[in-house]
Amino acid sequence: MNNGYEFFRPLTLTATALAASIFIAGCSLMPSYERPAAPVTTQWPASAQSADTDRTTGSATTTASSTMPMDWQSYFTDPTLRQLIEVALKNNRDLRVAMLNTEQAKAQLGIRRADLFPTVNAALTGSRTPNSNGGVNSAYAGGLTVTAYELDFFGRVSSLKEQALAQFLATSEAAQTAQISLISTVAQSWLALLADDELLRVTRQTLDSRAESLQLTELKLQNGAASELDQRLAQTLFESARITLAQQTRQRALDENALALLLGQALPDTTQADLQRPTASQLSRLEQLHLSELPAGLPSDLLTRRPDIRQAEQLLKASHANIGAARAAFFPRISLTAGVGSASTALNDLFNNGFWGWTLAPQLLLPIFDAGRNQATLDAAQVARDVAVAQYEKSIQSAFREVADALASRATLVQQVQASQALLATESARNQLTHLRLDHGAANQLESLDAKRSLFTAQQGAIQTRLAYLQNQITLFKALGGGAHLPHDEPPAVN
């Protein structure tokens, strides 16, 4: 046949060639991965190893390794707080972006995986050209084609796939980090809101008490039983309470706005109603809230608990895969273009009476001179690997420091809570005794006003210390990698 289709061969050879191109085994130039040693000590600092009994919770404060509830559903038992966390996990925009980044990385992995296989297209071509006899030469061809499929002899494509896989897993770990951070921040914001309400309650009571004291002092001044200095002191305490009330009202509004941003919506009506509902117990909601003690375990546990450390390790693996791709660029790149189908001089006979056959066009490209581009790419990949190692080690050190800080703070905050409660009890008794002495003329107005000021300060300190103690427990929960872990959705490996 002399119409340009003599390159076609039997169809069975085409299937053999395509199958061989898919299953050809190549060698990988990617360096083997070894996890770097953790650049931290094997024990927590002495300040974080102290053991004490937390009288506020009745549980032992210890760093012994044990099984602990690391999912937020088990750790946070308050129904209102659990509802807020569920709303935030559903509506928070930052977490939504993190999840979408994971989906994007998964799509990129799908693209890299597709590069391992040839792309088969259906093609139909035709041409009509005049000849020297005044006629027209017609040529039509149709069938399946594979265009520029790279035979991965040296592992360049598979290295890029491994890099995309590591990037996907790193992005998934980043989403888990965002989720844990969101859960912890919502819990701490809720505690801050409870503390704001408790501070406002104490401040309003103090303001009412000081208003009554001011009226009584002014009445005594009118009758000559008190001096103007006593009246000015009472006025000072009253105005300072008004200032504190305004500051705390503003802070409460800001904390509610911050929590609403985390939730992605306004506070639910049930939450608002719960805040306004008086407690059945004499204890405030902040005092009734208790969190489980979290044993810290061993520093090596953080390597598996904390998703930010796992993320840094996946990025390190991605840098190893990138080195493999950069090394493969020094070797020949073999690509294959092939086709199988039918050819005919008449379109209506293309698939009925056409000539069936195949075409095979391999191509080999070997870099000879590139002005050092490949070497510079490899050098950049190796430096990026060293950077990833440093970042991985830093993530471990940062995690170690966060846990150690939280443990050290817990040890002192337990004592601080106990001391603040004892101080509050002492100041309450002092205020009552001073009031009795004032009624019987054994104390002056200055002593009474000083006792009231000290009591108000002790009440504020007790609330703030209790808040710091609970927030520290949440910080430790976060630092230890607690949270409801997202599924990795790790795709199966492709050989």
Q: Are residues 95 and 123 in the same domain?
A: no
Q: Are residues 229 and 343 in the same domain?
A: no
Residue numbers of the domain that contains 26: 1-30+117-151+333-365
Which CATH number covers residue 341? 2.20.200.10
Please indicate, yes or no, if residue 20 is contained in any of the structural domains.
Answer: yes
Please indicate, yes or no, if residue 107 is contained in any of the structural domains.
Answer: yes
Give the model's pLDDT for residue 27.
Answer: 66
Please indicate, yes or no, if residue 85 is contained in any of the structural domains.
Answer: yes
**pLDDT, tens only, 64-115:** 344 454 688 888 888 999 999 999 999 999 999 999 999 999 999 999 999 8
Rg of the chain's alpha carbons, rounded to an integer? 37
Q: Are residues 201 and 349 in the same domain?
A: no
Q: Are residues 474 and 437 in the same domain?
A: yes
> How far is 347 from 342, CA to CA, in rounded Å?
11
Run of H or E residues at 426: helix 373-439
**pLDDT, tens only, 41-55:** 877 787 766 544 444
CA-CA-CA-CA dihedral for 474, 477, 482, 484, to nearest 10: -20
Give the model's pLDDT for residue 411.
Answer: 81
In one-letter notation, the amino acid at residue 387 is V
Please indicate, yes or no, if residue 434 is contained in any of the structural domains.
Answer: yes
Q: Are residues 136 and 199 in the same domain?
A: no
Q: Are residues 89 and 124 in the same domain?
A: no
* Tally of CA atoms within 13 A in the half-sphere of 120 that contains its CB: 12
List the chain pLDDT tens, one digit each, 495 residues: 334 333 334 434 444 444 444 444 456 788 888 888 888 887 778 776 654 444 444 343 444 344 454 688 888 888 999 999 999 999 999 999 999 999 999 999 999 999 889 888 888 888 888 877 777 888 878 888 888 888 888 889 999 999 999 999 999 999 999 999 999 999 999 999 999 999 999 999 999 989 998 998 889 888 888 888 888 988 999 999 999 999 999 999 999 999 999 999 999 988 888 888 776 566 788 888 888 777 666 677 777 788 999 999 999 999 999 999 999 888 888 888 888 878 877 777 777 776 788 888 888 888 888 899 999 999 999 999 999 999 999 999 999 999 889 988 988 999 999 999 999 999 999 999 988 888 787 877 778 888 889 999 999 999 999 999 999 999 999 998 887 554 444 444 444
Please indicate, yes or no, if residue 485 is contained in any of the structural domains.
Answer: no
Query: Which of 341, 365, 389 finishes a domain?
Result: 365
The bridge status of strand 355-365 relative to strand 120-130 is: unpaired
Short-list 215, 214, 226, CA closest to 452: 214
Q: Are residues 195 and 290 in the same domain?
A: yes
SS3 (DSSP) at 365: strand
Q: Angle formed by the axes of helices 269-276 and 79-91, to 10°?
A: 150
* Residue 269 phi, psi (nearest 5): -60, -35
Q: Are residues 142 and 98 in the same domain?
A: no
Q: Which alpha helices (DSSP H) does 92-155 contain, by range?
A: 93-114
Instruction: Count up the domains in the chain and report the number.
Output: 2
Please indicate, yes or no, if residue 39 is contained in any of the structural domains.
Answer: no
Q: Using an 8 Å Cβ cutoff, are 386 and 323 in contact?
A: no
Indicate the length of the chain as a whole number: 495
Please indicate, yes or no, if residue 134 is contained in any of the structural domains.
Answer: yes
Q: Are residues 240 and 343 in the same domain?
A: no
Q: Are residues 165 and 262 in the same domain?
A: yes
> How far is 297 from 302, CA to CA, in rounded Å?
9
Which CATH number covers residue 417? 1.20.1600.10
Q: Are residues 274 and 178 in the same domain?
A: yes
Run of H or E residues at 208: helix 156-222
Please indicate, yes or no, if residue 292 is contained in any of the structural domains.
Answer: yes
Q: Are residues 232 and 170 in the same domain?
A: yes
